[in-house]
Amino acid sequence: MKKILKTKLPELWQKIDADFDLFLPIEKNKTLNFSLWKEGEKVNLDRVRTNASPKHLVFPQTETYLKFKNENKKLSLEVVEAEGDEYVLFGVRPCDVKSFKLLDNIFLRDPVDTYYKVHRDRGIIISLGCSNPEDTCFCTSFGVEAASAPEGADIAAWDMGDSFLWKTQSEKGQKLMESVEEFFTDAHEKDLKTLEHEKDNIREKLKELPFSNIDLSKIKGTQQEIFDQEEIWNEFSEKCLACGTCSYLCPTCHCYDLCDYKGSNKGEKFRCWDSCMSSDFTLMAHGNPRTSQMQRLRQRFMHKLVYYPKNHEGVYSCVGCGRCADRCPVHIDIVKIIKKLGGEKNEL
């Protein structure tokens, strides 16, 4: 375990930035997002939740696959490789670290999405324990331990007040650590004891959160029975604006559309994020298989709570980050859905 004083962070950022693209939680106009660091940026490592998750680094919002040109009636095609340099992503909370694993289950299974793989392999992920979880966090319900060193992080870090403790967990993490060794000292026995106290504090705080008592086991019934609870799905979908905010901010949502952009004699094929909440999602030549907002909203939550776990050994496609609870303009969120499906009479 290594220790770095917070006063050394600006130098550390500079050193990492010399060799990698460095992404940090950066505040602009009071909004916190993972952005490319440069000198003078306002880094905020205190607030736990960024507005959007860091999924755009492995699954960009838009990405071109192919360019085509028609010159003198001769068509030429150019395959576009995945772009981007090696990067370090620091300050990823354990829920978002887990979301990368859930995305891996989709994009790295056969046939592997080579664009996603390139972005994933280029990244070094450094997690940060959640010293101050937000009121709308409920990661523990989905098996995320916000105090721990999460599986999937190349380095795990914790905020110790005037310093950070770093624990390397992979070869990539070790290599990075060796390149910045000059800024670190070895952690002492006392630091390790303080870290255990800090982890206990985090666990206590998580227990006190308003959504800490969500019980997924209360959702009873077969897939078909849950699907058929139309009264519940209608109740939520009547309020839904189909804005897609929940999908775009969610770290585990991964739907995309494939589109062609065509100019007079050239064009591109690209993919871009899409949302199953949108009325033209999965629109095909014969029409759309889901014709109402009820069907679309039901699809989103059936996927997260029923279909994904059925296909992935019981793991849910939600990490309890709380972004949907925080940002849906009409206050629809997965917590209310879980409670309703579990038989609770919560008000929308």
Residue 179 Cβ, how far from ligand SF4 at the closest point, in Å? 33
**Residue placing its CB nearer to ligand SF4 in the complex, 89 or 277:** 277
**Residue placing its CB nearer to ligand SF4 in the complex, 94 or 320:** 320
How far, in Å, CA of 103 to CA of 129, rounded?
21
Residue 228 Cβ, how far from ligand SF4 at the closest point, in Å? 21
**Residue placing its CB nearer to ligand SF4 in the complex, 2 or 323:** 323
Residue 194 Cβ, how far from ligand SF4 at the closest point, in Å? 30
**Residue placing its CB nearer to ligand SF4 in the complex, 155 or 321:** 321
Which helix or strand (DSSP H or E) is residue 163 part of? strand 163-168
Residue 294 Cβ, how far from ligand SF4 at the closest point, in Å? 12
The answer to whether 321 and 315 are in contact (CB under 8 A) is no
How far, in Å, CA of 221 to CA of 53, rounded?
32
Which helix or strand (DSSP H or E) is residue 340 part of? helix 334-341
**Residue placing its CB nearer to ligand SF4 in the complex, 2 or 304:** 304
Residue 70 Cβ, how far from ligand SF4 at the closest point, in Å? 39
The answer to whether 146 and 140 are in contact (CB under 8 A) is yes
**Which of 218, 222, 223 has its CA nearest to residue 340?**
218
DSSP, residue by residue, 245-300? HHHHH-SS---EEEEEEE-SSEEEEEEEE--TTSTTTT-BTTB-S--SHHHHHHHH
Site residues (vs ligand SF4, CB under 6 A): 240-246, 249-252, 277, 304, 318-324, 328-330, 332, 334
Tokens matching residue 294:
């009820």
How far, in Å, CA of 325 to CA of 334, rounded?
7
**Residue placing its CB nearer to ligand SF4 in the complex, 177 or 277:** 277
**Residue placing its CB nearer to ligand SF4 in the complex, 173 or 251:** 251
**Residue placing its CB nearer to ligand SF4 in the complex, 53 or 169:** 53
The answer to whether 109 and 265 are in contact (CB under 8 A) is no
Which are the contacts of 196, defined by CB distance < 8 A and separation ≥ 6?
Answer: none
Residue 306 Cβ, how far from ligand SF4 at the closest point, in Å? 13
Residue 23 Cβ, how far from ligand SF4 at the closest point, in Å? 20
Residue 230 Cβ, how far from ligand SF4 at the closest point, in Å? 17
Give 165-173's long-range contacts (Cβ < 8 A, gap of 24+).
165/1, 165/2, 165/3, 165/191, 165/195, 166/1, 166/2, 166/3, 166/4, 166/126, 167/1, 167/2, 168/2, 172/124, 173/124, 173/126
